[in-house]
A and B are shown apart, each in its own frame.
Chain A
Amino acid sequence: MHDVVTGEKVFDASAGRAVPPQPGLRKPVILGNKTYRDVTSDICSQLDQKASLSWWAAFLVSLTVLAVGALSVGYQVLTGVGVWGLNNTVGWAFDITNFVFWIGIGHAGTLISAILFLFRQKWRTSVNRSAEAMTIFAVICAGIFPIIHTGRPWLAFWLLPYPNFRGPLWVNFRSPLVWDMFAISCYFTISAVFWFVGLIPDFATLRDRTAPGIRKRIYAFLSLGWNGSNRTWHRYEKVYLLLAGLATPLVISVHTIVSWDFATSVIPGWHTTILPPYFVAGAVFSGFAMVLTLMLIVRRVMRLEEYITPHHIEQMCTIILATGGMVALAYATELFVAYYSGNPYERFAFVNRALGPYAWTYWIMISCNVLVPQFFWFKRVRANVAAVFALSIFINIGMWFERYVIIMTSLTRDYIPAGWSGFTPTLVDLGTLVGSFGLFFTLFLLFARFLPMVAIGEVKGVLRYGRSVNGGA
């Protein structure tokens, strides 16, 4: 059961010895010489057992933090947006930072489930279910902010174009916030459907394993009459492929549109054409960091070390290294363009970011997003779970600060010096931020309790990777 990677050898606990990897074969995706039965029981047993103490502890903590967030938001809705630290000059800070941050987190899930699926990256099967769940929960967290950040959230539905008796009065299709509304609702819908479709075979497995009762009936309902026949598999794989195709452009489009909130404005530091690719790369970068953070916990707590193997971790570290490089390039390009444009306002905005009153936020961003990923060049770091975990946390922090730097520092000092201001978060700002994490982890823990964390059906398809011929084929 307990495999560890020792150098290039794989220690096979069941064989009691280290076996050299088979030449000419890929690295195994799943360790431990699992049989199909093993996979089913490994994954489903988590759901059969009573919740562990650690789950309860984690759940209660998350719930408490969620309650803090709920109180903060409730207080803010009742009292006014003034309970945040915003002002005449800085109209957005934590609210939209959190929004962009969470949207960015979601992107890794979609990338793993859709793009890596289309690229036949079989290693994704171990992590795609959790990553997709992460996407959905992150989008839920993100989606809250555009609603609550408005001065009159009870009227936020006016951002939707719906037939009405006010003229009819439509939304302003020129406003990037309206595009956002479409992009995010679209993203959420596709991600949810994609996730659900992927779950159907596993629901059927759960249905078949569960003793009659209410739970079985729910699983039965959710499995949509799945019977494991060739036909169901055939239909399923077609739908899955189509949905993957649909979801793929979203990875690019959603964050591109989010970046237009800033890129289409006139504010120095926002108004720049590099933002779409920069945001997409940053989103994937931050998303993978969050996937790593979550997977490393899940792997340990849910005992999924054989499913989420060092190989997976390494792959994700590599992606982080790549996207981190893109992000670093974007930072450098921004600085260069600001210098080279000759636009004094633009130039000042970037000098101010790096050296102004909020320089510390900028340097947190640079340290976490440019320096930290450089450790992933080292295989020893990539293989060290604790180190990877720590670095992934830093990247999460760094990416939150990236959005904070872009949004907040650009606003504090724009064109008219007499209007310059600063931003200091209030307790409600902080409460709302941690509350969004509370919501995210609460949802994730519920997911871990009630749904299979690993796509059973898909993992079974990659079970034989890296095994010798007699192990199956």
Chain B
Amino acid sequence: MTEEYGHINVASLPGMGRRSFLRLAGFSFAGAVLAGCQQGGVEKAIPHLVQPEESTPGSAVWYSTICAGCQAGCGILAKVRDGRPIKLEGNPGHPLSQGGMCAIGQASLLGLYDSLRLKAPLMKGAPSSWQELDRHVMAELDRIRRGKGAVRFLTGTVTSPATRAVIQRFLGSFADARHVEYDPMSCAAILDAHRLTHGARVLPRYHFAEASVITAFDADFLGNWISPVEFTKGYRAGRTPAGNPARFSFHAHFESRVSLTGSNADQRVCVSPDELQLCLEGMAAIIAERAGRTLGLSVRLPANLDNSVRRLADRLWNARGRGLVVCGVNTVRHQVLVNALNAMLDNYGGTVDIDTPSHQYAGNDAGVEDLLNELRRGSVEALFVSGANPVYDLPEGQALGEWMKKTPFVVSFSGEDDETAACARYVCPTPHFLEAWNDSEPVSGIVALAQPTIRSLRDSRQMIESLSVWSGDNAPALDLIRREWERTIRERHATSQTMDAFWNRTLADGYAVVRSASAPHHACDYDAVATVVTERGPTSVSIPPATGGVTASPGGPPPGFAGGRYTLLLHPSLTILDGRHGHNPWLHELPDPVTKIVWDNAASLSRKTAEALGVRHGDLIRIEANQKFLELPVHIQPGQHDAVVVVTLGYGRKGTDRFRDIGPEWLQSRPTVGSGETVGKNAALFGLIEAGCRTNRIDAARLIPTGGTHVLVTTQEYHSLREPNLFGGETGHRRPIVQETTLAAFANDPSAGSFHKEELDSLWPDDHKYAGHHWGMTIDLTACTGCSACVMACQAENNIPVVGKDEVRRNRELAWIRVDRYYDEARGEFSVSHQPMMCQHCGNAPCETVCPVLATVHSAEGLNQQIYNRCVGTRYCANNCPYKMRRFNWFEYRHGDEMQRMVLNPDVTVRERGVMEKCSFCIQRIQGAKIRAKREGRPLNDGDAQPACAQSCPARAIIFGDVNDPSSEISKTLSSPRHYRVLEELGVRPSVGYLTLVRNREEQAGEADHA
């Protein structure tokens, strides 16, 4: 046959004459011309000519590296697919994060694809080239070296040994040079206090797992304080209501605002900042009395708090060596008292570790203050700024910007054209951390390596490379780091591996444990404590305790003290931190885990204060303090102290009006941010550097309602599990959506608090046999802190678009998982519960029966599947979902710009408008795991298939697995007496279950140990 066809020629075809041939040829030509007229996209798709060894199109590779979302230095794995990093996941082996990863870290991936990253070096604001810039800079540096001018190098905390060494070496070539480290989220007082009490300026490593009594004074250690993922891991490990007696720490929390950590506390004591100080002092005095020490303190506790502080002191005393006192107030006097407390309670060496201290925060506020003074005087010749944005985040930022412009030689190392870069003469673009080599030693003895996961998308150069070039060394970053490791790290490693082997091992693992190098220190010097206590006096206590009886309890007097003056408290955002992620739309749309506000910061007031001021949610108030003012919308925060106004830092970043049109545009859409405005307002200007420490507490703030309003958007509109009592009166019926109990009740009856246990008879035949796998999920509400890492994991994994503020206002956010946060204010108490909620994959799914086109169906493995291309979008399924966890594509939502679309996960369909979507239990991961197991010829093991939320959860609160496998972790949770299913009584048979929330509560417990 083939041969025959091969010999066919036109002339021999029967009936094909000259004219027919011409006719055909004419038609063909015309056809070709017409086809050519079509405007087809010219696309060049060139596959790898030489396939890189480890790269297979369509399959992902994971590279271990270090997260740079904050300084905590968690170990992560970057999932690279077809050359693009598309997801960051926790490195399960890393000793700090142990596989957990917070929302911020995960979202920092998007920064890689930010189209506003600097494309080229800038010289005096104009684009330039590296050669040009290097020529200029080196000439200037020569001039400065000759003139012995003052050189200052301002950075954030440097946890990288190599970077530190390179900076030191570079500065060594100047006569007058100093490296200044600072942290906008400063912990300097803790370090300074340890210098005073222990003789070493160190930040301890806190072991929450070892603590049985945790007392925190405004330290948001589950939120964003120092190392939240590590702390969450530890906190979770110390709180499991299993075993007899259960190892379950008691957590007391003193605070004025409502922090994420406070919302998880067993006992949350709402105090004013002054009362907080009195409580800390009182506790120190009580413990000192017991320990036989003198700190020069007398116990003077506010009457309403006396009892709780004394009881807590008892608890701490009884748990000596297993207690932990932490304080987030950046004042040396506070921190010195905390050190004394931990020392008197024998916690050093146990829960507080300064032998292998943390390097995560090394900033020195006094150093910054000195630098600012030098800059003000104009005595600095050259200033380098790297990994910091002081013009934005320092209280005197604006002035600093002016001083910087007057400073002769200013270099900014920055990935973006931020506020500081705008004031610098030379701007050197630095790569995103996923494009760079790096190393770190976040905690003494734990070293880690970061490797590039993609070739730099911009013409950027790492800061250490630039310094190397300017020193005439010209070494690439890899060499600089490797050299440093050969010099200092290798020798601290225990094994006798070759450098190559050690390096490669570390690179593959992402970390190595080496001998720790700690600063010499001594035991707590109580005299130093007494000196600080007396010398620094209670200066900031502006309200005598006699009149400080202002509490959040409903019976307290209304605010109006001190002429309507309030205390302004600033705290870094739980989503964009100090503003460093202010250009990350994923984080802007991630609801704040406590307030649930998106795309804004606000002035949080207690309900009573708001009533006294006559303002409501979204009304604008003018905050005046320090001769500065800011207008912010009011957010009413239950559980907050009446005497404070709380403002989130990190907002108001320059250039955030880029998010104006991030959402869909239509007739009645409103921009996410007004033209020329910013997302939120920058409250850093209120901050102060007092006594060498940056404080976020500003007294005597005036609040003046302006009469204006602002659209302040939260993802949750009703905040209680109790129905509003519409007939009037206190509270309504409490819905058993979150089932909770106390530890004491749990000890008596493990099923306490969980009900709806009876198996309901069903008229329906058992349709689903689940012969193979049967996927299920259990969420441990005791473990869940509400941190929202799962929400971000889902967003990154499942290509959830950002919809903009207006769409969120219209309650159209697309997140497949949300963390419901409920306040309970019954009986004058305040407690908070967090509940992750997603599609419950019901066995008798109400959505499935009502879909007219069978676009949502039940799989043989128990998944409720949404078939996007079959969906016509009646939304009947969403209406009939009792959990309201179905999400509709109201518009064609944009998935960022062309750059940002590179982050999309190719394994997950990008949904078009008009279709319904929802949690899929990450079916792409389940299928991937099954394929892997099949290829490897083994059965699927428990834990092989992990949805993104479960994988990232720092608290391991989400357990996923095969219910049909009796040995799986999920099967064990199913038999737990704490297990319940939300709305079980509807008979929808959800596949997701919850474990009751157990609180280590005193009052209902009836324990005798602290009477």
Contacts and interface: CB of A to CB of B under 8 A. Distances in A.
A73 B489 CA distance: 69
24 contacts: A80-B891, A82-B664, A82-B890, A89-B811, A91-B888, A149-B874, A150-B872, A151-B871, A151-B888, A151-B889, A155-B872, A175-B849, A175-B850, A175-B876, A177-B876, A266-B846, A348-B723, A355-B726, A416-B837, A416-B982, A416-B983, A417-B822, A420-B718, A428-B667
Interface string B678-721: 00000000000000000000000000000000000000111111
Contacts of B720: 417
B821 A159 contact: no
Nearest to A166: B870
B820 interface: yes
A352 B733 CA distance: 13
Contacts of B719: 417-418
Given A88-B884, A265-B846, A418 B821 contact: yes
Given A80-B889, A266-B882, 8 more contacts: A88-B813, A150-B872, A152-B873, A172-B853, A175-B849, A348-B723, A348-B732, A419-B837
A152 B872 contact: yes
A345 B871 CA distance: 30
B1009 to A, nearest CB: 36
Contacts of A267: 879-880, 882
A231 interface: no
B875 A91 contact: yes
B882 A414 contact: yes
Nearest to B821: A418
Most chain B C-beta atoms within 10 Å of own C-beta, residue among A89, A176, A266, A428? A266
B737 interface: yes
A109 B884 CA distance: 39
A174 B854 CA distance: 10
B892 interface: yes
Contacts of B718: 413, 417-418, 420
A418 B818 contact: yes
Contacts of A427: 667-668
Contacts of B851: 172, 175
Contacts of B835: 418
A345 B723 CA distance: 9
Contacts of B885: 419
A177 to B, nearest CB: 4
B876 A417 contact: no
Nearest to B875: A91
Given A151-B914, A416-B837, A265 B811 contact: no
Interface residue SS majority, chain B: loop
Contacts of A158: 852-853, 870, 872
A81 B812 CA distance: 12
Nearest to B873: A151
A6 B737 CA distance: 66
B853 A92 contact: no
Contacts of A421: 717, 811
B875 A156 contact: no
A92 B877 CA distance: 11
A54 interface: no
Contacts of B988: 266
Interface string A168-183: 0111101111100100
B29 interface: no
Interface in B877-903: 878-880, 882-892
Interface string A62-95: 0000000000000100011111011111011000
Nearest to A352: B726
Contacts of A176: 850
Contacts of A91: 875-876, 878-879, 888
- Which 6 pairs, one residue from A and one from B, show the smallest C-beta to C-beta distance? A151-B873, A151-B914, A82-B890, A91-B875, A418-B820, A419-B884
Interface string B839-868: 000000010011111100000000000000
Contact of A88 (B812, B874, B914): B812
Interface in A253-296: 261, 264-267
A348 to B, nearest CB: 5
B879 A150 contact: no
B768 to A, nearest CB: 15
B915 interface: yes
Interface string B85-128: 00000000000000000000000000000000000000000000
A141 interface: no
A152 B912 CA distance: 10
B455 interface: no
Q: How large is the interface on A (under 10, 10 to 19, 20 to 34, 35 or more residues)?
A: 35 or more
A21 interface: no
Interface in B807-840: 807, 810-813, 818, 820-822, 835, 837
Contacts of B982: 416
A177 B851 CA distance: 8
Nearest to B853: A158
Contact of B849 (A88, A174, A422): A174
A60 to B, nearest CB: 25
A163 interface: no
B666 interface: yes
A411 interface: yes
Contacts of B884: 88-89, 414-416, 419
Interface of B: 664, 666-668, 716-721, 723-724, 726-727, 732-733, 735, 737, 807, 810-813, 818, 820-822, 835, 837, 846, 849-854, 870-876, 878-880, 882-892, 913-916, 982-983, 986, 988
Contacts of A7: none
B872 A411 contact: no
B800 to A, nearest CB: 13
A90 to B, nearest CB: 8
Given A351-B727, A355-B727, A151 B875 contact: yes
Contacts of A87: 810-812
A158 B870 CA distance: 9
Given A418-B837, A420-B718, A150 B873 contact: yes
B667 A426 contact: yes
Contacts of A266: 846, 880, 882, 986, 988
Contacts of A86: 875, 888, 890
A82 B821 CA distance: 27
A344 interface: yes
A356 interface: yes
Most chain A C-beta atoms within 10 Å of own C-beta, residue among B872, B873, B878, B892? B872
A88 B916 CA distance: 10
Interface string A299-333: 00000000000000000000000000000000000
A354 B835 CA distance: 30
A88 B811 contact: yes
A172 B849 CA distance: 8
Contacts of A415: 735, 737, 882-884, 983, 986
A85 B810 contact: yes
Interface in A415-473: 415-422, 426-428
Most chain A C-beta atoms within 10 Å of own C-beta, residue among B717, B851, B884? B884
Contacts of B724: 356
Contacts of B882: 266-267, 414-416
Interface in A167-206: 169-172, 174-178, 181
A92 B880 contact: no
A127 B145 CA distance: 104
Contacts of B837: 416, 418-419
Contacts of A426: 667-668
A152 B914 contact: yes
Most chain B C-beta atoms within 10 Å of own C-beta, residue among A169, A170, A265, A418? A418
Contacts of A169: 854, 870
B670 to A, nearest CB: 12
B81 to A, nearest CB: 30
Nearest to B735: A417
Given A151-B914, A348-B723, A83 B667 contact: yes
Contacts of B807: 82
Contact of B891 (A82, A89, A416): A82
